[in-house]
Amino acid sequence: MAYRGFVPGRFPTADLKRSRILEISPDITMIEGYISDDFFFKPPSCNCFVLRDGDMVLLVDTGTYPFYRRAILDVLDRHRRDGAKRLVLMLTQGHFDHVANNDVILEAGYGDVRFLLPEVELPVIDLFHHWMGDFEAMTEYYNPYREFPMVFPTAVIGLTGRMSARLARSLLSSSCRMLFRGIQNLADRAEILRLDERVEWGFGDVVFKGWEVGRFLAVHDATHSPGHLSFYDPQDKVFLTGDATLEINPAFFDSSLETCIEMMGRFRRFAELGYVETATDAHRSSIWAQELATAFDYNPIHPLQAVDAAHGGDECAALYGFFEEYYAALKREVMSALTRLREATVPEMVEEFEGSRDPNARFKTTLAFPRVPSRVDVMVANVMKENGIQRRREGERIVFSA
Ligand SMILES: [Fe+2]
């Protein structure tokens, strides 16, 4: 089996072997991913899901490491021998930790293979240009390069960023090229899902827009990325929410904290109305949550952060309710930092935010970049952008006013 995918600096094979295959429901298998506290040398890999409906198999996400190819192929093979004829690949998002094994679908032995991708996620799956473009967009709000933490390996860019943004940018560009080298994400053979082709599914007073795939709905929630999808199985009431329910949100400048807050309210209501009996997402794992808690020396804010999946309507509603409050608190704490300072730059608001005693803000601060990809500066800039906060340039400084 040829591997042409992602090769990180250090290969955590021994750690990966602890990943499990979990039967989430009668028709959904989860291939558990990987999280470490060393983002650059042991990058995360998402949970991958295989969903079955009649003669169709839907593969959601493919992970970072070649290690998972065997597990994915084994599950796809089991379904093929059991009568499945059509294979569809979809992604919760175009980020590297969800797409690096996309070409595995070409090795699965299915005659009918499709890869469906929302049009708004096309710029995201163009990994190198997406990362560089995201940083470029942030320069309208602050100099993101000089905010790289002063620890190995990010200090190289942080120090350079203090002298020259242009030089820091070219350093970042070389690192990104190295990080994404050789990833075959098959973007060139994706069938594009247009926004005007979305259908609406209503559940009581909750309405989702998305694309139907067999009996499943790919819910376009646009939270963690512009084309972010969550996947719903109405038969067994399973909801897989990708990175919409992820503590590091908003992870990118083009993530939307506002949409995260709004969608969590909708997801909670959806569960309260009795439509969700099993809930999990792209990085939820009792094993890796425990490892992170030990590495960062924290207790989860809510016990459901540390489970493989929430079970029963009440637990599922509580999971979404937790994230609704978490995201709302992050926004509130950023805005109140600006109110207290009256006028401030992004780095000044970051410092103020990091002094907050709110448990949610403290949790966000604890999950510090570069050990995990949780960036407070990106979140602050995101809140400024999405709330249209006035800004002006004073020489090098970009100052925001309450
Ligand atoms: Fe992810």
Task: Give the tens place of pLDDT for each residue, 91-143.
Answer: 999 999 999 999 999 999 999 999 999 999 999 999 999 999 999 999 999 99
Where are any strands of DSSP class E within 97-185? 112-118
User: What separation in Å is there between the alpha carbon of 64 and the centre of ligand 1?
Assistant: 10
User: What separation in Å is there between the alpha carbon of 204 and the centre of ligand 1?
Assistant: 30
Residue 2's pLDDT is 41
Per residue in 220-230, pLDDT tens? 999 999 999 99
Residue 28's pLDDT is 98
- pLDDT of 4 higher than 60: no
- pTM of this structure: 0.96
Residues 169 and 295: their CA atoms lie apart, in Å, by 31
Contact by Cβ (8 Å): 367, 296: yes
User: What separation in Å is there between the alpha carbon of 99 and the centre of ligand 1?
Assistant: 10
- pLDDT of 8 higher than 60: no
Per residue in 233-273, pLDDT tens? 999 999 999 999 999 999 999 999 999 999 999 999 999 99
User: What separation in Å is there between the alpha carbon of 402 and the centre of ligand 1?
Assistant: 33
Per residue in 286-305, pLDDT tens? 999 999 999 989 889 999 99
User: What separation in Å is there between the alpha carbon of 77 and the centre of ligand 1?
Assistant: 25
Residue 303 burial by CB count (10 A; 0-12/13-18/19+): exposed, middle or buried?
Answer: exposed
Phi-psi region at 344: left, alpha or beta (left = phi > 0; alpha = psi -120 to 50): beta
Packed helices 376-386 and 313-341: angle between N→C axes, nearest 10 degrees? 80
Specify the range with the lowest mean pLDDT, choosing from 44-48, 60-64, 65-69, 317-321: 65-69
User: What separation in Å is there between the alpha carbon of 97 and the centre of ligand 1?
Assistant: 6
Residues 374 and 24: their CA atoms lie apart, in Å, by 28
Residue 7's pLDDT is 52
Task: Tell me which architecture the domain covering 13-125+187-326 has in CATH.
Answer: 4-Layer Sandwich (3.60)
User: What separation in Å is there between the alpha carbon of 28 and the centre of ligand 1?
Assistant: 19
* Average pLDDT of the residues of the chain: 94
Better-scored residue on pLDDT, 157 or 26: 26
User: What separation in Å is there between the alpha carbon of 34 and the centre of ligand 1?
Assistant: 10
Residue 11's pLDDT is 59
User: What separation in Å is there between the alpha carbon of 94 and the centre of ligand 1?
Assistant: 9
User: What separation in Å is there between the alpha carbon of 312 and the centre of ligand 1?
Assistant: 25
Region 153-164: what's the mean pLDDT?
Answer: 88
Residue 12's pLDDT is 67
User: What separation in Å is there between the alpha carbon of 199 and the centre of ligand 1?
Assistant: 26
Residue 368's pLDDT is 84
User: What separation in Å is there between the alpha carbon of 344 and the centre of ligand 1?
Assistant: 31
User: What separation in Å is there between the alpha carbon of 396 and the centre of ligand 1?
Assistant: 34
SS3 34: strand
* % pLDDT > 90, the chain: 82
User: What separation in Å is there between the alpha carbon of 352 and the centre of ligand 1?
Assistant: 28
Long-range contacts of 129-134 (CB under 8 A, 24+ apart): 130/94, 131/172, 131/176, 132/169, 132/172, 132/173, 132/176, 134/252, 134/253, 134/254
User: What separation in Å is there between the alpha carbon of 309 and the centre of ligand 1?
Assistant: 17
User: What separation in Å is there between the alpha carbon of 283 and the centre of ligand 1?
Assistant: 7
Where in the sequence of the chain do the CATH 3.60.15.10 domains occur?
A: 13-125+187-326
Residue 153's pLDDT is 83
Better-scored residue on pLDDT, 11 or 364: 364
Residue 148's pLDDT is 87
Better-scored residue on pLDDT, 374 or 1: 374
User: What separation in Å is there between the alpha carbon of 83 and the centre of ligand 1?
Assistant: 31
Per residue in 352-374, pLDDT tens? 999 999 999 999 999 888 888 89
The C-alpha R_g of the chain, in whole angstroms, comes to: 21
Residue 149's pLDDT is 84
Per residue in 58-88, pLDDT tens? 999 999 988 899 999 999 999 999 999 999 9
Contact by Cβ (8 Å): 34, 289: no
User: What separation in Å is there between the alpha carbon of 392 and the centre of ligand 1?
Assistant: 34
Q: Is the dihedral of CA 36, 42, 43, 48 positive or negative?
A: negative
Better-scored residue on pLDDT, 193 or 4: 193
